[in-house]
Structure 1
Amino acid sequence: MARKKGRRRFGWVRKLPSGRFQASYLGPDGKRHNAPETFPTDRDADRWLVHVEGAILRREWTNPDQAKIRLCDYAESWIAERPGLRPRTVHLYGWLLAKYVTPHLGEVQLGQLDTPMIRSWRAKLLREGVSETMTAKAYRLLRAVLMTAANEDRIIPRNPCQVRGAGSENPDERPVLTVAQVFDLASRMAEKRYRAFVLLAAFATLRWGEITAVRRQDIAPDASWVRVAGAFVELPGRGLVYGPPKSRAGRRTVAIPEAIRADIFAHLDEFVGSKPDAWVFTGKRGNPLRRCNFNPATKWKAAVAAIGVPHLHFHDLRHTGNTLAARTKASTRDLMARMGHDSPRAAMIYQHATSEADQEIARGLSGLVDRERYKKSADDDDDGEAGALVPVG
């Protein structure tokens, strides 16, 4: 970099009384910024200025003043300003931030965060007994917050959340009921009003918030379909809040299997008001059903123990329905529509090979082999030769 002695093309360097050198420059924001540290030599300070100039030319420069914001302040603003978050998601993010992130990293400035610090934080959570699932959720939240800081707001040069596998969860495989077990469970509900609730949750693969928000007008006159028009979420201090479904694809119409339509009719006749907006599944007083009331009313623990699946959760009914639907050879797109998912990822999970499906594949392959063997035999006979069938190992 040719220049006259004492003059620089970019930035300034001055010698401090301590003998060290301070570098500064005029940033794209029109303000003068000092290097975060001083340098032992003029050449070291100059090298730093060359690095900064290159970042500005490549449009990779980040404002060091903005990088001084505390992580807790930035994350709280990120949650408040994030578009399209459902109330339950806002609550979850705020809880994760307050419980697992802020106590450990909240006071750290964004510009000071680095990958070793993130790795150490994650390891500390696990050492303190936080489950892998909750640790992964907290890590994913932090990664999303810092992704915005790096890619959108340009506060930091890169996302420091680069810990391999830290955002992955490996939960235990959830149980899948047989069709017989679903009907057995429905018949064991302590109150008859919950029989159709169990059947519809399983065979229409509805989420808790979706099925509790179904109204009479959301079920076809012939009970051939159920429409998901909204969903309930339960928030601390606010109770049940009615809103849109979990995702854009969640607003859907699901065909009801003919085998359970009689149960739906019987439920509508006995337990549901005649008005179109009457809730289909309620407690004894006619109010929308709440989770805290469901287990005691149905004697759920006794019922699931009686069918041989003592650790069954209500959400496992949806898991069962999705698994059974995948076994019908439905396409990924059709499964996505029925399940209410925007992404094919969940649908593809349910299309993983099961022992039943694998046996069917084996039978199909066996048929192909048999046809090829007999075709060869027939061709040999046409040539006037004895066609010996050679066993295929």
Structure 2
Amino acid sequence: MPGKGGHRRFGAIRKLPSGRYQVRYPGPDGVVRPGEQTFERKQEAEQYLSIVESKLITSEWIDPNRGKIWLQDYAERWIAERPNLRPRTVHLYTWLLGKHVTPYLGKVPLNRLSTPMVREWRTKLLDNGVSATMAAKAYRLLRAVLMTAVKEDELIRVNPCRIKGADQERPAERPVLTVAQVFDLAEKVPERYRALILVTTFGCLRWGEVIALQRRDIDLEAGTVRVRQAYVEQRGTGLVLGPPKSRAGLRTVTLPAVVLPKVRAHLAEFAGDDPDAFVFTGAEGRTIWRGNFNQLVKWSDAVAAIGAPKLHFHDLRHTGNTLASRAPGASLRDLMTRMGHDSPRAALIYQHANSEADRAIAEAINKAVQAARRKPSKRAPKAAQDEAEPV
């Protein structure tokens, strides 16, 4: 506000040759800065200075020069500096950034990004044929990057990613096999890979977890499988053996008793005697690559033969998770622990599961398997679900 004699007590306003008004004001470091914009009327310039003064007093002011960094440069640095990101996650973030974000917003300074601009970007993605699932992934990445710019680096004051529902995915529902179909599928693949189908399904394991199992991880007496590592396919490097996807992935899962004879026979015929010997390997004893597995087992023919032509390998885990969720008496924590899932609402979710509850789940599955196998096998209706996004 102007003080006595027409002088302002904060900042200064001058009229430019163009007739517009420019403001200047001192920052908390004493450096005098020009305003980010000019104004048509002097009253607007005075209001702007009042707002800046209020933000300085309440420590809400952010140096506009700090937010002049391009989104592309900041986002690339954000990915590089994230701690504990798995190689696959780094690859996904880098791909999303280069494919769906920077071509549209990469050269925009952070402090120029706005909610309407983000909304227009998302609309263009969808109009150009990008699926809602992939657009949601790209939106969540952009939101996370800009949240760091707001809360940690204090480069901008608010996050412009405020579009309701933009972060939600609606993937097509994946097929779930019947118990009979699971055993039918195991019989349709070469003998070397039958136990792999059963352990993956009824143990609720991920691909990287099941191919990383070693003989020491199988306890036939207890009927358990211990998940303590997983393979990840890393571009430029190959298969990398490391910890599971998350801390919750470290777990011991009880298998249904009806599966154990198949596992015992597999270990006797196809796995080495050394405790470090990998349980599931190719014919030459090498680790199986995900990209080669479908060809090895003639997957398309096998899944078509059981009436589930759209089935993906990861749908076996989905089937196992579904069977486990139907087990009576299993709590949410028991199920999440068995599946190896993290939950932000339950800090203890990756702690050791109650072994009795886990065995109850396995026993319930075992009973379902035995009951199904006593009945004549009937082919389930053909799965009609569309293929989900691969990323």
Q: TM-score, length-normalised on structure 1?
A: 0.84
2:57 alignment counterpart: 57
User: Which 5+ residue runs of structure 1 have no aligned equivalent?
Assistant: 348-393
Rounded Cα–Cα distance in structure 2 between residues aligned with 1:179 and 1:210: 22
Q: Is the 8 A contact 1:68 1:110 kept in 2?
A: yes
Q: 1:23-62 counterparts in 2 under 5 A?
A: 23-62=23-62
Residue-by-residue CA offset, 1:50-86 (whole Å, 9 max, x unaligned): 1112222333222211111000001001101112211
Please tell me whether the aligned partners of residues 67 and 111 of structure 1 are also in contact (alpha carbons under 8 angstroms): yes
C-alpha distance 2-113 of structure 1, shift in aligned 2 (>3 A): closer
The residue aligned with 2:376 is none
Question: In the alignment, which residue of structure 1 is the partner of 2:226?
Answer: 227
Q: How far apart are the structure 1 equivalents of 2:248 and 2:96?
A: 26
For residue 207 of structure 1, what is the amino acid of its counterpart? R
Please say if residues 228 and 251 of structure 2, whose CA atoms lie closer than 8 Å, have aligned partners that are also in contact: yes
Give the corresponding residue for 1:112: 112
The answer to which of 297-306 and 27-36 deviates more is 27-36
Q: Is the 1:24–1:33 Cα contact (8 Å) retained in structure 2?
A: yes
The answer to whether the 8 A contact 1:202-1:317 is kept is yes
- By how many angstroms is 1:29 displaced? 4.5
Is residue 93–residue 141 contact of structure 1 (8 Å, CA) maintained in 2? yes
Segment of structure 1 superposing worse, 111-120 or 15-24: 15-24
SS in 2 for 1:45: helix
Contact 1:181 1:307 in 2 (8 A): yes
Alignment correspondent of 1:365: none
User: Counterpart of 1:124?
Assistant: 124
In the alignment, what sits opposite 2:4? 4
Letter paired with 1:70: W
Cα gap change, 1:136 to 1:81, in 2 (>3 Å): same
Offset, 1:344: 7.4
Residue by residue, what CA displacement relative to the aligned partner does 1:122-177 show, whole Å, maximum 9, x if unpaired?
11111111111111111111111111112222211111111121111111111111
Q: Map Cα deviations across residues 278-298 of structure 1 (whole Å, 9 max, x no partner).
A: 111111121211111100111
Deviation readout 1:90-113 (Å, 9 max, x if unpaired) = 000000000111111100111111
Distance, in Å, in 2 between the alignment partners of 1:334 and 1:118 is: 40
Structure 1 residue 41 displacement after superposition = 3.4
Deviates more, 1:337-346 or 1:146-155: 337-346
Aligned residues: 346
Does the CA-based 8 Å contact 1:332-1:344 persist in structure 2? Answer: no
What is the root-mean-square deviation in Å for CA atoms of aligned residues? 1.8
Q: Report which of the two structures shows the higher radius of gyration computed on alpha carbons.
A: 1
In structure 2, give the amino acid aligned to 1:147: M
Q: Give structure 2 stretches of 5+ with no counterpart.
A: 350-391
Task: Give secondary structure in 2 for the equivalent of 1:108.
Answer: coil
Cα distance in 1 between the residues matched to 2:203 and 2:316: 10
Which residue is equivalent to 1:323?
A: 322
Q: Is the 8 A contact 1:336 1:344 kept in 2?
A: no
Partner SS for 1:121 = helix
Which structure exhibits the higher relative contact order, with contacts defined as CA atoms closer than 8 Å and separated by 6 or more residues? 2
2:253 aligns to what SS in structure 1? strand
**Identity rate of aligned residues, in percent?**
61
Name the TM-score, length of structure 2 as normaliser: 0.85
Kindly provide the CA deviation profile for residues 298-323 of structure 1, in whole angstroms up to 9, marking residues without a partner as x: 11111100110100011111111011
Where does residue 299 of structure 1 map in the other structure?
298
Moved more, 278-287 or 20-29: 20-29
SS, match of residue 65 in structure 1: helix
